[in-house]
């Protein structure tokens, strides 16, 4: 095998990828991590992380730098490249980097994450991390006693609004239409919560601020075009996420929203020997700790897969089949 072959080839270097790498290295599997265009993943673009156990408050970039150092110290080979093509129909699995390098793996852990969809306003970009967020679980705690707004009309938006009522004094729910896409249970919970005020047929036209933090939003009525302002300290954008799975389309089972489908209680995908961890397969929790937990699972499952393959290869030739998905 070439120098670019590893027993566990990990694509992505967020909490899921680094945790998988650390566990695989400690199982003597000499893993390789292809770090991608965002080494350290999503947490590198945030400031305070206050829900990582053991750290009451840690800066996102610092936490990810420590994970990277931990990975290096236990023998993980970290590679700066971006995978542009994969072939999961052959063994070993193949991943081709932007650099032109071919990487092969007896197993593969996909940990390419996801990214939040944004409204696309320059003012929204300017205040990201200073009042604009895409994660109520991550940032809701900072808005005790404040007025905030959530944009969106699906289950995630309603759940974020409901969650924020644990801290905020008032939550506006800004939605482009006059009915929600959220399911009936969520709609009923929303209607029963006096802290939430829906603003129907409305879109956020501008995020207002004082140069440092968000102070309000300008809203446009989608029917009349009429403009109005609301004073808010935070804006939560909940209009969906895009999992980074374009590479794997047609090679692995994805769900309707593009997330990698996994076997129940496992990180196994529709291709035996390929595991998926973190936000790339999780549209429910989307947290660093859950991603890290899935990275651990993926590495342990990869280790078992390799041991099983070795045992079966020794006994006879084997036929490898995909996992049956839930």
Ligand X SMILES: Cc1cc2nc3c(=O)[nH]c(=O)nc-3n(C[C@H](O)[C@H](O)[C@H](O)COP(=O)(O)OP(=O)(O)OC[C@H]3O[C@@H](n4cnc5c(N)ncnc54)[C@H](O)[C@@H]3O)c2cc1C
Distances in Å between the Cα of 291 and the Cα atoms of 14, 92, 219, 304 are 8, 25, 35, 20
Q: Which of these is catalytic: 81, 139, 279, 282?
A: 139
Give the interface segment with ligand X, choosing from 21-29, 46-54, 151-159, 250-258 (CB under 6 A): 46-54
Among 6, 15, 171, 298, binds ligand X (CB under 6 A): 15
Which one, of 264, 265, 266, 271, lies nearest residue 323 by Cα?
Answer: 271
Which one, of 152, 145, 137, lies nearest residue 198 by Cα?
Answer: 152
Tokens describing residue 79: 């590679």
Among 9, 10, 11, 208, binds ligand X (CB under 6 A): 11
Longest dimension (CA), the chain: 74
Q: Which of these is catalytic: 98, 135, 242, 255?
A: 135
Query: In the complex, what is the shortest distance from the CB of residue 194 to ligand X, in angstroms, rounded to a whole number?
Result: 28
Which one, of 243, 206, 13, lies nearest residue 123 by Cα?
Answer: 206
Calpha distance 38→164 (Å, rounded):
29
Tokens describing residue 217: 């939003």
Told to judge if 296 belongs to the known catalytic residues of this protein, a careful annotator would answer no
Name which of 217 and 294 has its Cβ closer to ligand X.
294
Output the 3-class SS for 17-72: HHHHHHHHHHCCCCCEEECCCCCCHHHHHCCEECCECCECCEEHHHHHHHHHHHHH
For residue 86, state whether it binds ligand X (rule: CB under 6 A). Answer: no
Name which of 17 and 216 has its Cβ closer to ligand X.
17
Told to judge if 106 belongs to the known catalytic residues of this protein, a careful annotator would answer no
For residue 32, state whether it binds ligand X (rule: CB under 6 A). Answer: no
Give the interface segment with ligand X, choosing from 45-53, 100-108, 149-157, 306-314 (CB under 6 A): 45-53
Name which of 205 and 289 has its Cβ closer to ligand X.
289
Distances in Å between the Cα of 199 and the Cα atoms of 31, 118, 151, 168, 206 are 50, 19, 10, 17, 15
For residue 58, state whether it binds ligand X (rule: CB under 6 A). Answer: no
Among 30, 59, 121, 135, binds ligand X (CB under 6 A): 135
Active site residues: 135, 138-139
Which residues lie near ligand X (CB under 6 A)? 11-17, 34-39, 41-43, 45-46, 49, 51, 82-83, 111-113, 135, 138, 244, 247, 278-280, 286-289, 291
């Amino acid at each position: 095998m070439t120098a670019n072959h590893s027993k566990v080839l990990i694509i992505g270097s967020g909490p899921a990828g680094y945790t998988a790498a650390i566990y695989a290295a400690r199982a003597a599997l000499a893993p390789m991590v292809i770090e991608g265009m965002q080494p350290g993943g999503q947490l590198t673009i945030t400031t305070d992380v206050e829900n990582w156990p053991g750290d009451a408050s840690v800066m996102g970039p610092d936490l990810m730098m420590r994970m990277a150092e931990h990975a290096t110290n236990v023998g993980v080979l970290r590679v700066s490249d971006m995978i542009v093509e994969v072939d999961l129909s052959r063994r070993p699995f193949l991943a081709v980097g932007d650099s032109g390098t071919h990487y092969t793996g007896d197993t593969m852990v996909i940990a390419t994450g996801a990214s939040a969809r944004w409204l696309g306003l320059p003012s929204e970009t300017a205040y990201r991390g200073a009042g604009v967020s895409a994660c109520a679980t991550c940032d809701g705690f900072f808005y005790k006693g404040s007025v905030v707004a959530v944009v969106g009309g699906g289950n995630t938006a309603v759940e974020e609004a409901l969650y924020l009522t644990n801290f905020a004094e008032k939550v506006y729910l800004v939605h482009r239409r006059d009915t929600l896409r959220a399911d009936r249970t969520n709609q009923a919970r929303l209607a029963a919560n006096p802290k939430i005020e829906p603003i129907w047929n409305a879109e956020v036209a501008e995020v207002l601020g004082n140069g440092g933090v968000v102070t309000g939003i300008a809203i446009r009525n989608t029917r009349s075009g009429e403009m109005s302002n609301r004073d808010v300290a935070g804006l939560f954008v909940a209009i969906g996420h895009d999992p980074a799975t374009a590479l794997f389309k047609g090679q692995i089972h994805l769900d309707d929203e593009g997330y990698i489908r996994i076997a129940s209680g496992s990180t196994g995908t529709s291709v035996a020997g390929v595991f998926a961890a973190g936000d790339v397969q999780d549209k429910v929790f989307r947290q660093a700790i859950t991603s890290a937990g899935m990275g651990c699972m993926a590495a342990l499952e990869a280790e078992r897969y390799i041991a099983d393959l070795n045992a079966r290869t020794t006994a006879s030739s084997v036929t490898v089949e995909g996992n049956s998905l839930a």
